[in-house]
């Protein structure tokens, strides 16, 4: 008799929020547990939530990339600017690769979504384009399978593990 399949960490609603393209802050730590973090310039998620890829600027994320490469640990906070609806995912094994030309449409889609998201809180597209500017040759993709997820939306459920019981 086979074991029942594990319940997905992320609900379809969480996956849709992340897939849309919302603010993403990527973090890791070194062996001494000293944190490193950087804003992502792009994100993607598998339709079933089983795999997440975040994109960061190598020149701005040297310590973060060094920490991910050394420890494999990664945590990403995805937050919708207008509502502060937030979910955090974590993993203990992440893979790094250089971004390639086929990543460019995904990065463009993320930029357009963030322009819309940030416009909702009063900032125009020029601000977002400056904040998320990148040279594709400088971008690193970090791919991982989430092993933990948390509701981090401000309120009584903040910090609750997902999937919710």
Residue 30 tokens, joined:
């070194």
- Mean pLDDT, residues 53-78 taken together: 98
Q: Is residue 164 part of a domain?
A: no
Confidence of residue 96 (pLDDT cuts 50, 70, 90): very high
pLDDT of residue 133: 95
Query: Which two tokens mark 124?
Result: 């125009």
Residue 144's CATH number = 2.30.110.10
Strand positions, DSSP E, the chain: 23-29, 35-39, 42-45, 52-57, 74-79, 86-91, 94-98, 139-144, 148-151, 160-162
Domains identified in the chain, total number = 1
SS3 159: coil
Average pLDDT over residues 79-94: 96
**Residue 5 within a domain:** no
Q: Tell whether 96 is covered by a domain.
A: yes
What is the rounded average pLDDT for all residues in the chain?
Answer: 94
Domain hosting residue 42, numbered range: 12-155
Q: Determine the average pLDDT of the residues in 43-52.
A: 97
Instruction: Look at residue 4 and tell me if it is in a domain.
Output: no
Q: Is residue 162 part of a domain?
A: no
Whether 2 is in a domain gets the answer no
Q: How far apart are CA 119 and CA 112, in angstroms?
A: 11
Residue 7: predicted pLDDT? 72
pTM: 0.93
Q: What is the pLDDT of residue 164?
A: 59
pLDDT of residue 40: 98
Q: Is residue 144 part of a domain?
A: yes
pLDDT of residue 132: 96
In a domain, 165, yes or no: no
Q: Evaluate the CA torsion angle 77, 121, 57, 33 in order and state its sign.
A: negative
Candidates 111, 83, 89; CA nearest to 27 is: 89
Tens digit of each residue's pLDDT (9 = 90 or more) over 136-163 = 999 999 999 999 999 999 999 999 999 8
Spatial CB neighbours of 146, under 8 Å, sequence gap ≥ 6: 9, 10, 49, 50, 52, 89, 90, 91
């Amino acid at each position: 008799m086979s074991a029942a399949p594990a319940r997905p960490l992320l609900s379809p609603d969480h996956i849709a929020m992340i897939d849309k393209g919302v603010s993403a802050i990527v973090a890791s730590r070194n062996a001494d547990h000293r944190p490193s973090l950087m804003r992502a310039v792009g994100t993607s998620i598998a339709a079933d939530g089983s795999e997440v890829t975040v994109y960061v600027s190598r020149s701005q994320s040297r310590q973060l990339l060094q920490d991910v490469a050394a420890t494999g640990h990664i945590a990403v906070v995805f937050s919708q600017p207008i509502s502060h609806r937030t979910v955090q995912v974590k993993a203990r094994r992440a893979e790094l690769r250089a971004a390639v030309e086929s990543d460019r449409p995904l990065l463009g889609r993320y930029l357009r979504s963030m322009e819309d998201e940030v416009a909702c809180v009063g900032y125009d597209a020029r601000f977002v384009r400056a904040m998320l500017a990148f040279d594709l040759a400088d971008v690193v993709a970090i791919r991982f399978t989430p092993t933990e997820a948390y509701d981090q939306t401000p309120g009584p459920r903040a910090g609750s593990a997902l999937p919710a019981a």
